Chains A and B, each alone.
Chain A
Amino acid sequence: MRQDHLISATQLSREDVEATLDRAREVAADPGALRDSHDGAVLALCFFEPSTRTKMSFESAAKRLGAETIDMGSVESSSVKKGESLADTVRVIEGYADAIVLRHPSEGAATLASEFVDVPVINAGDGAGQHPSQTLLDLHTIRENHGLDDLTVGIMGDLKYGRTVHSLATALTEFDARQHFISPESLKLPRSVRFDLHEAGAQVREHTELEAVLPELDVLYVTRIQRERFPDENEYRKVAGQYRIDAETLEAADDDLTVMHPLPRVDEIAPDVDETDHARYFEQAHNGVPVRMALLDELLSRAGGDEE
């Protein structure tokens, strides 16, 4: 990547993605490849929202690189609770760490943070905005299973608020991918993502049902529809029920279909799918470590001034 921060998938070119994923592939094949290569570096984990996978996989990646992590802790126990601005928080933390991993409930938080600090900022989720490091591991998973060309990808669930969806859809425009978006009317892609897809000349189709498009798909990326997006429980149940898959649903799919999910899932993928060859979501979650090792290696090397 040419940039010093990773804020949005819109900044990722095909070349950038492939370079990072080549590195991730090397690391996955030889876990010792980058071991202790960033001995003494310190990574700050600033999570203003709860996280399990993202935070732990960044932590694991940092430790495998020999770096230490420092953790802001929960918002309740931090100075944010006293009303400190994000701009101040990151300016303070900049002095403690060589890079900052930031998750925040407001869209644009990572962009703002990057304007106030000189150390690399990695956006680990900004509200309903972007989650580009998740996209790198999603692309790695797709690449290892299908390659990244001549792909047909279905993205289903909450496309309006799903930040992993926004980042993935944008990043896929760099590749030869046809994208199908499957969601209820009320949770279709937001205007900003449509704009980027349109500008990129992406091949995009929108559907309210999975059935018709399922047999064409190489990848089905399922996301969770959250209860709080609906005014009442009945409406939620009715809608969420239509976007749930099980082993029977997948009988209509191609044998090589890869089912992905950024996790956590609630009940949108039935447990019987886990037993099928389609299920790749745990592999996807595990890919978080080699991909984030490759990413941190790049950003820390550049920040340390030792880029070739």
Chain B
Amino acid sequence: MSEHELRVSKIRNGTVIDHVNGGQALNVLAILGIDGSEGFGVSIGMNVPSDRLGRKDIVKVEDRELSQSEVDVLSLIAPEATINIVREFEVVEKNRVERPEEVSGVLSCPNRNCITNADEPVESRFAVVPDGVRCGYCDEILREDLADYIDV
């Protein structure tokens, strides 16, 4: 099983995002703004058995090294995620995601009456607070179902 998995999924260069909460892989790609049109090779494993998470998702993006600030926003939906930078089939760097202080342009505000949901030329902006995020415009606090508000 592991040999088979390894054979189909090992990448030469790029980023492997491991220990993503089961079912969140497509949201991870959405947050990273990767939809396939960029031409990178992308492979996804979903609901793979995991000792730590029960089941986990894995996202592998070839030929693209994601920066820490790019991946930190993933901590909102995948707090346990690990980021592996791969060069010539070797993991050269392994990091955990860290909670950023603020996330911009990733989530839409759940408050329908927030000015960011009107047709204004601004990006949404949320401060990261304990257990959630808070809109920088209307102060609405979002704790549950963050993935439902991903807007990228």
Contacts and interface: CB of A to CB of B under 8 A. Distances in A.
Nearest to A199: B129
Contacts of B139: 8, 107-108, 129, 192
Tell me whether chain B's interface is mostly helix, strand or loop, or mixed: loop
Contacts of A115: 122
B119 A129 contact: no
B141 A191 contact: yes
A32 interface: no
B110 to A, nearest CB: 11
B115 interface: yes
A191 B135 CA distance: 12
A106 B138 CA distance: 8
Interface in B88-139: 111, 113-122, 129, 134-139
Interface residues of A, number: 21
Contacts of B136: 108, 111
Contact of B118 (A86, A111, A192): A86
B140 A192 contact: yes
A87 interface: yes
A85 interface: yes
A106 B114 CA distance: 5
Interface in A279-302: none
Given A87-B120, A87-B121, A107 B141 contact: no
A112 B140 contact: no
Interface string A77-104: 0000001011100000000000000001
Interface of A, secondary structure class, is: mixed
Contacts of B119: 83, 85
B114 A107 contact: yes
- Interface size classification for chain B: 20 to 34
B115 A195 contact: no
A66 interface: no
A127 B113 contact: yes
Given A129-B138, A195-B129, A112 B120 contact: yes
Contacts of B118: 85-86, 106
A44 interface: no
Contacts of B120: 85-87, 112
A87 B121 CA distance: 7
A87 B122 contact: yes
A86 B119 CA distance: 9
A195 B113 contact: no
A28 B145 CA distance: 51
A118 B51 CA distance: 55
B115 A192 contact: no
B113 A128 contact: yes
A128 B134 CA distance: 16
B138 A108 contact: yes
A50 interface: no
Contacts of B135: 108
A85 B140 contact: no
B120 to A, nearest CB: 5
Interface string A175-217: 0000000000000000110010000000000000000000000
Contacts of B115: 86, 104, 106-109, 111-112, 126
A304 interface: no
A192 B121 contact: no
A73 interface: no
Given A85-B118, A106-B138, A111-B137, 9 more contacts: A87-B121, A104-B115, A106-B114, A107-B113, A107-B114, A107-B137, A107-B140, A112-B116, A192-B138
Report the 7 A-B pairs with minimum CB-CB distance, sorted nearest first: A108-B137, A107-B138, A108-B138, A108-B115, A192-B139, A106-B115, A109-B115
Interface of B: 111, 113-122, 129, 134-141
